[in-house]
Structure 1
Amino acid sequence: MELSNRIQALRDEINRHNYNYYVLDQSEISDFDFDMLLNELQQLEQAHPEFFDANSPTQRVGGMVTRNFNTVVHEQRMYSLDNSYSKEDLIDWEKRLIKVLGNVNPEFTCELKYDGASINLTYEDGKLSKAVTRGDGFQGDDVTVNIRTIRSIPLQLKGDYPSRFDIRGEIILPLSGFEKMNRELVEIGEAPYSNPRNTASGSLKLQDSAEVARRPLDCLLYAVVGNKLPFNTHFEGLQHARDWGFKVPKEAQLAKSMQEVFGFIDYWDVHRHELPYETDGVVIKVNSLHYQEELGYTAKAPRWAIAYKYKSEQVSTRLHTISYQVGRTGAITPVANLEPVQLAGTIVKRASLHNADQIEKLDIRVGDEVYVEKGGEIIPKIIAVDLSKRPPHSEKTAYITHCPECHTELIRNPGEAQHYCPNFYGCPPQIIGRIEHFISRKAMDIEGLGGETVALLYKAGLVHNYADLYELSVEDVLPLERMAQKSAENLINGINKSKEIPFERVLFALGIRYVGETVAKKLAKHYKNSDALARAGLADLILVDEIGERIARSVLEFFGNDENKTIVQRLKDFGVQLETVERINPDATDKLQGKTFVVSGVFENYSRDELKKAIEDNGGKVGSSISAKTDFVVAGDNMGPAKLEKATKLNVPVISEADFTQLLQ
């Protein structure tokens, strides 16, 4: 018993010193004394493996090798943020909030937007149980082994914490650590890393956790997620997270008004360069968690949060040549090939020129000195030309008239900015691009098959469309470059496994123009199978929720094409899911059939999601806002005054949680 107590006492003391040093930036003991404590613990644990604990501070040194990172579905989606670039955008956003919430002026939490890799950490009984990357927002990679090596992430919490919750943050690489890593690389003759953000993100997917442990990664937390949390505002949540042992940036500030938000933005526009981390803006969130629930989400982002992006860095460089890329839809994108230049932490060699109109508007010419910035800090673009440095005898840019790949004459539809190659079924980049889209992670997610392999399959004459993938055999793909027996088997197994992908994702994978993930879900839910969708007329399609005329005509054009019909039929014959598989709920009824409900407020026996599921399980429909078509509003505590006023005005019955339960009975 004494041995067990000594091991636990050492763990507690080392965790306390780790917290003081890596979170509070304070140190109570010397590095030598700390190392002596850690050595004693390591020796005791090695001599007595029965006391092993995955959350012991000795496990932070890494050593485990992960060949493949498992994909994990997020319990609660990790949304993106809408961006704003002016204070006028923020004022308009606040007006939209007030319109939904009623005559309420919400408070805001202002936080700096750190440039790193998003992570979701799960804690159970105060211990780190799982760490998952953001991925596509719906699912990410399990990188728990690597995350355990980051010393600012607590393995064991302190204080009074919920039994289970998630917390989200950014894995970042401090500028000093990044510079140190690059100095060491240069000293041994290796190329330095390009920027801290990409280096941090890449570190999470290293196979050797010991290598991750050697990198000076840090983690800044910004949001606690879970049910029945012990606080009512986002700002309180940040303080609770600090008390539990998380590193939450102290720069976060509560703002009582939009003017105070502007003050925060202006201060950090000047002082952000003094920070030890890279930051490119400010995140503003409605502080009240209840108001956050009332406001909800769009298809991509929370309505209650917005990112204000600081003005992009600009540099000038020389434009050498203009090349043209062909996308999977046949759209032509002109690309500027530049004299390499450092911009916002990366070396930029290429920039988008968008379309012929943009080239004409800026009068961009080969040989020009041009100004380049990163649009939204991601994609470089040319924003202006320095005419004072234009070479003599400069020639105006003549936009290409024929496809650079298949030499078909380009077309430009009335009202559209881009030129297109109409050779849809014969232009190689279009064919390869459609297959790459089909196999992508959000679509068919075919493991073992990437863009490079698709190009090799096409060039070898093995595939001409995505249906051909399902006729491939191991023997067919073995002769391909860098293809071994095992990888060939994995590829074929991945193709066969994709037959389990649900209809809504198959529909997205087909690559119908304007049919993204959200539209594909709407169409799959409405029509249930590809045959019904193919038979639908224009008027019928437009009646589907969120489907406009442009999308409807694109769907009609796709299913009106004989070659597409053949491909879809082949997919069906191969066993690809081209109809919705109804999951039978034994408790489902049709008691609420034909009724539309809007849910508002906080409930005692249901979470809002549980309440919405109960409505749908019993044949009802859940609306996002109150209208003349709403049959009932289910109201909990703190229902928004704007919704109550609208329900009263439209004579929509407002029922309680108990009334709803009675309806089901």
Structure 2
Amino acid sequence: MSLTHETADEDNPYLRNPPTDFAPLEDLSEDEAREQIALLREAIREHDRRYYVENDPIVADRAYDALFTRLQALEDEFDLSHPDSPTRSVGGEPIEGFDTVEHVAPMLSIDNSGDAADVREFDDRVRREVGEVDYVCEPKFDGVSMEFVYEDGRLERAVTRGDGREGDDVTRNARTIGSVPQRLHGDYPDFLAVRGEVYMPKDAFQAHNRERIERGEDPFANPRNATAGTIRQLDPSVVAERPLEVFFFDVLEATDLEDSHRDELERFPDWGLRVNDRVEVVKDIDEAIDYRDRMLEVRDDLNYEIDGVVIKVDDRDAREELGRTARHDRYAYAYKFPARAEVTPIADIAVQVGRTGRVTPVALLEPVDVGGVTVSRASLHNPEEIEAKNVNVGDTVRVQRAGDVIPYVAEVVEKSSEGHYELPDHCPVCDSAIERDGPIAFCTGGLACDAQLRRSIQYYASDDGLDLEGLGEKSVRQLVDAGLLESVADLYELEREDLTDLEGWGETSTENLVEEIEASREPPLPDFLSALGIPHVGPTTARELAREFGTFEAVREAAVTDPEHLETVDDVGETVAAQIHEFFTSEANAEAVDAILEHVSPQETDVETGDELEGLTFVFTGSLEGMTRGEAQETVEAHGANATSSVSGNTDYLVVGENPGQTKRDDAEANDVPIVDADEFRELLAERGVDPARE
């Protein structure tokens, strides 16, 4: 099996939540080994692509290391190595938007382990081949490795590591980083290619994430992702606004090479190249191991992320004699730290404003491994929860994941602050007052709050709303920032030239969005009700309201004057009815809804009900040609079936449209639920006497 497409087969067991408890090699036949090798190669290539190109890894580092180590062991044991194997090359490939440039010298990776015995084995091999050596020890930075080329003292180009042989030319972006000198100082070589690590300081990372959360944007998972995502920005002005730094740590090529690595590093500051102040030269491997242990102790005190230390042979002639493999230099070894597990300090607390105005405090954490996933933020739920747990910035906490999905702070392990965190009195986004309703806090700014505005527009266009393709988080943010959207109703005022004047919008994408918006002017009533973002009114509750009242005017009238009537509707109890009443009686919301209704005419719901599908339960995923997901759900429910949002053993059919979610497919296979496409769904309806075209 080979990775011939952009993404790997989602059925590959080593892609998501991979098992790392492997059977002993001696228990495998050669055919079984070949099968496992094929799956591992495919998965590792995909993990490499997501890490180096997408900057969106789906497994923790330790899980990836386990898969890679297993592949190496299988290839060695069964003599099944191959030139195209991930074990023979560094992962990564150039991305669109930058020129591809060949490196002056290969930028290989570093062999690594978290086991001291493996480090001593490295030392034994070095001493066998070249005799006694000194080692240079330095932190193993968790950033983005790059090549910087200087000719006659001037920065000519900066290139990402890419696949180790060639990478992306990001020179324009690198020039915006303050610690990258545009011109060298002192007595520098005529030609110099150096390797550096670009990173985002931890305090700057937390501040940047705080700003993203308060703007209603998703934060970066860790400083490395923030750095990688920044350095590959097509707009250098964006890079200039973000706090990147660099440490220079190796010479790749130069007209005059020093005799030792320590001599090179001593010259770097004279040339204006920034080096790390934690670098040490040691006499033997015991001192190198002691260095690693000391760095582990101070790891949390550093203002940059490290995940181990690098031990390098100091003498350059010895380095050349040791040589290299296809993947790594043989003169260096990384002694990695154990993954942080569940317990971590709170670096900051941000306030996130949801589309309904609910204010949620979010703990910004030193990245920590929780169940194989790197976590850098966790919910603190609400002010009462914070007070009960006595949580504040600086405290060391235990992080867990609710249902293995949402991270939250479970308890304070070590109290380092005084008292508990208290919410601000005013919204950090719009400066409106924050009010309390029992344990819940709300921003009173309504749709005048940018965070709520962006999320409201995004939700209006989402699958649970009117399903406007091409209007996701990024495009909504761009349109709001450009001043084109100040309300949901402004969607219907957009002109083609408004969009084509923006970066990234071509004629095709513009035309597609305009057509989607035009097609949404007469939406089904359930879709429209759900799209408004009324608290607790999702697609299912919206369908029940539409079925009970028939028209939008009737729903609104009941919400304002007769909320008790709402309580009689399935899925609507006293609490939900109160939320609907509050939404429609809000002056700001009333104005926003009236503005939308100047452009939109929700259809009446007048569906003849039947029992042709009685007893069946459907789940839908993806977009269905010819009808919205809401219309499909309304159709089956009108004929006696149930439409639910998640697959279980009680589900009869999973209907899969275009761009379906993988989780529902996995759940269907696990529960032996039949999976049908849109055409098969229509055939099934026709067999039972239901014609969706007439609904």
TM bin (shorter chain): 0.3 to 0.5
TM-score (norm 2): 0.41
User: TM-score scaled to structure 1, two decimals?
Assistant: 0.43
Higher relative CO (Cα under 8 Å, sequence separation at least 6) belongs to 1
